[in-house]
Amino acid sequence: MYTKTAEVPKKKGKEVKLRGWVHRLRQLGDKYFVVLRDSTGIIQAVVTPDKIKGKIDTEASIELTGKVVEDKRAPRGFEVQATDLKVIGESASDWPFHRYKSTEMELDLRHLWVRSTKIQDVLRVKAKMISGFRHFLDEEDFCEVAPPIFVSAACEGGSTLFEVPYFGGKAYLSQSGQLYSESMLPALEKVYALAPSFRAEKSRTRRHVTEYWHLEPEMAWTDWKQNIDLQESLLKASITFLLDKNPELLENYQDRLTELEKWRKEKWIRIRYDEAIELLKTKLKFPKAKLGDDLGTKEEIALTDHFDTFVAVTHYPRDMKAFYMKVDEKDPKWVLSNDLMGPHVGEIIGASEREWKHDLLLENMKIHKLNPKDYAWYLDLRKYGSVPHSGFGLGIERFLMSVLKLEHIRETLPYPRFMNRTYP
């Protein structure tokens, strides 16, 4: 019986009943212009004061009835001429976003700023993007699993590990569910986890938060090349899911459509780390780039700009990457890994074939100065019927930044967490 604002344009000349919140309020002569917001967006209504029941302010919740008329100047090209407007929940007259909006204010008052259409749009796209991932992984016979969040050892190195008190002892917050997902392969063969990961990142950059959403598929009987194939198909499928199944969510992102179409059609690029360094040095204005350097955001984006699409960089130096990665038998300087670089953001995926032989894994641990005792259970996995396997971790927020070309990761989370922020 209630019409959603998105449906209003289809009801030209008809009477509709709407409910939502007063997104904007303006008085002009003897009329009020009320922009009503609901979960599908906004629509403008005009109403005379005598039709309003209750005290109306920005962000009051309301119900209104009226006739739909075409009006090119209104958002969505239609307007509702209200014959009745009832205030359900009053709003105090000091709605803070009447004033100047700064980034700090948007973070300090996040509990109210989440109502902005900017966040609304991004969160709806994010939710469908995740549906797209699940849909694809389901079709490919992956089983969703839930790794623990409290863990006893690092997956990705000690420097970004959060320590928490744990009944007189200590535990850590998980940086990645990977090691646990690996343990489930002998039972389920193809699994994925979608969970928050925690990183005690001291770096304040446009692409780091301390808590992010991590999608981590892990596959038995899979090598590093097949792993990249899956990364490419998964991300392309989610772009297709958005473009074809949920085009209305991209209504306010029309400027993104051309690039998204291109990304889903074309083959993505794969180059080795040493080739990437050479390219950066000779063609991409990084004259100081040399073997052994880690790639930073600038270098990563230079690569995606150069190829104008996603770029998988493979075969990183062994000492730059995690202990669980399989070394290249052809040349043990390198590991069978890849990072996937997304346009506008850089690294969105970290991936590798895993070291599946017990003694080689033990040797890697020693090189990385890890105590094998802390990983005894993980070593066990290599004692009882180990198989070649691979997997990867996708930062959901990072990929969303690529897709919508967002400037800062804070735009992708309702409550982003940084070094200096856990409130609200």
- DSSP secondary structure letters along 69-98: EE-TTSGGGEEEEEEEEEEEE---TT-GGG
CB of 230 to ligand 4AD, least distance (A): 12
Confirm or reject binding of residue 395 to Mg ion (CB under 5 A): no
Burial (CB < 10 A; 0-12, 13-18, 19+), residue 36, is buried
CB of 191 to Mg ion, least distance (A): 20
- From the list 100-108, 167-175, 286-294, 346-354, the region that binds Mg ion by CB under 5 A is 346-354
Confirm or reject binding of residue 23 to ligand 4AD (CB under 6 A): no
- In the shown chain, the binding pattern of residues 368 to 397 toward ligand 4AD, with x for contact by CB under 6 A and - for none, equals -----------------------xxx-x-x
Computed from CA positions of residues 17, 21, 24, 28, in that sequence, does the dihedral angle turn out positive or negative? positive
Q: Convert 21-34 to b/e letters by CB count within 10 Å (16 or more is b).
A: bbbebeeeeeebeb
Confirm or reject binding of residue 41 to Mg ion (CB under 5 A): no
CB of 123 to ligand 4AD, least distance (A): 17
- 400: alpha, beta or left, given left = phi > 0 and alpha = psi -120 to 50? alpha
Confirm or reject binding of residue 176 to ligand 4AD (CB under 6 A): yes
CB of 157 to ligand 4AD, least distance (A): 8
- In the shown chain, the binding pattern of residues 214 to 233 toward ligand 4AD, with x for contact by CB under 6 A and - for none, equals x-x-----------------
Q: Which is nearer to ligand 4AD, 271 or 349 (CB)?
A: 349
- From the list 95-103, 119-127, 304-312, 346-354, the region that binds ligand 4AD by CB under 6 A is 346-354
> Cβ distance 192 to 137 under 8 Å?
yes
Task: List all residues 6 or more positions away from 342 whose beta carbon is below 8 Å from its beta carbon.
Answer: 304, 310, 348, 398, 399, 401, 402
Record the tokens describing residue 78, joined without a space: 């239609």
Which residue from 209, 219, 365, 381 is in contact with ligand 4AD, where contact means CB under 6 A? 209
Name which of ligand 4AD, Mg ion, none residue 106 binds, using a CB cut-off of 5 to 8 Å depending on partner kind: none
- Partners of 22 in the beta sheet? 36
Which residue from 350, 378, 412, 416 is in contact with ligand 4AD, where contact means CB under 6 A? 350
> Cβ distance 207 to 346 under 8 Å?
yes
- DSSP secondary structure letters along 395-419: EHHHHHHHHHT-S-GGGG-SS--BT
> Cβ distance 38 to 17 under 8 Å?
no
Confirm or reject binding of residue 350 to Mg ion (CB under 5 A): yes
Q: Which residues bind ligand 4AD (CB under 6 A)?
A: 155-156, 175-176, 178, 199, 201, 208-209, 212, 214, 216, 347-351, 391-393, 395, 397-398
Q: Which residues bind Mg ion (CB under 5 A)?
A: 350
